[in-house]
Structure 1
Amino acid sequence: MLAKTAMIIDDDEDLGRLLIPMLEARKILTLPVYSLHEAEEYLSYMKPTVIFLDNSFPEGLGINFIRNIHLADEEIKIIMMTADSAKWIEEKAKEEGVNYFLRKPFNMETINTVLDKLNLA
């Protein structure tokens, strides 16, 4: 059986520090990535099981990066995360095919519930 893997794409290093121990406790190998450019590079040769994707980056919006993820591999599960309260972001994210949309701040119980629903136990 192949190992489950996660990529955390967020320019906030603190989020990775919170998520990595929880994901590793579930035996999910985790790679934190801090820019969309870096994520694009990794996606050229790495196909994670799940991606945690923030929306706001200095070089652009994560929501516009969803298509790149699907082009790399349509099977990658996407959990979109944002502190932005604009309703259009959630609507567009769902149109683009994200599996779950979370507004920051969220708690670890919410993440665990989402991972359970994605069968990433």
Structure 2
Amino acid sequence: MTNAIAEEKKAKKVLIIEDEGDMCLLLNIMLNGKDMELDHVKKLAAAEEYLQKQQPEVVILDNKLPDGFGIDFISHIKSNYPNIRIIMISGFDGSAKDVALENGADIFLEKPFTKNQLYEAIVELMKEKI
């Protein structure tokens, strides 16, 4: 098998930063069987620790977390890990979407979103990296 084919077959790494167990389970179910390696952390501090060791292609980032707001963490990710693409998910629309995109989020998905919306957003961001 050539390196190009092996690379294409390799599962894409996605980090989910979400503190609600039900939402994390739902995200895992939505992305199950989609040739992605999913990892999960519940706090921004744990996310930073993870990112120092591993570089996912995409981060799915919730806004309201126990140790801060995801919206404030976006610029940190973009400054320190510029190749990572970010999907911000939040139940708050309007200004949260505008701020998230201004801070560097690549895509904003308002809860509730569909399985197809989430998957298409990830696929789109991974295409941009090729």
Question: Does TM, scored on the shorter chain, surpass 0.5?
Answer: yes
8 Å contact 2:58–2:122 — kept in the other structure?
Answer: no
Q: SS of 1:44's equivalent?
A: helix
Q: 1:103 aligned to 94, 104, 110, which one?
A: 110
Q: Give 1:29 deviation, angstroms.
A: 0.6
Q: Displacement, 1:28?
A: 1.0
Write the mapping of 1:48-87 to structure 2, written as runs, cut at 5 A: 48-85=56-93, 87=94
Counterpart Cα distance in 1 of 2:126 and 2:70: 24
Larger Rg: 2
Shift of 1:119: 3.7
Identity of aligned residues (%): 35
Contact 1:54 1:81 in 2 (8 A): yes
Q: Cα distance, 1:92 vs. partner?
A: 1.2
Cα distance in 2 for partners of 1:20, 1:72 equals 26
2:53 is paired with a residue whose SS is coil
Partner of 1:12: 20
What value does the CA root-mean-square deviation take over the aligned residues? 1.6
Is the 1:47–1:72 Cα contact (8 Å) retained in structure 2?
no
Unaligned runs of 5+ in 1: none
Structure 2 regions of 5+ residues with no counterpart?
1-6
Q: Which amino acid aligns with 1:91?
A: D
Paired letter, 2:39 = L
Local SS of the residue matching 1:93: helix
Residue aligning to 2:55: 47
**Cα offset for 1:24?**
4.1
Amino acid at match of 1:71: S
Q: Could you say which structure has the higher helix fraction? A: 2
Describe the SS at the equivalent of 2:59: strand
**Are 1:67 and 1:96, in contact at CA under 8 Å, matched by a contact in 2?**
yes
TM-score by length of 2: 0.82
Q: SS in structure 1 opposite 2:27?
A: helix
Q: Structure 1 length as normaliser, TM-score? A: 0.88
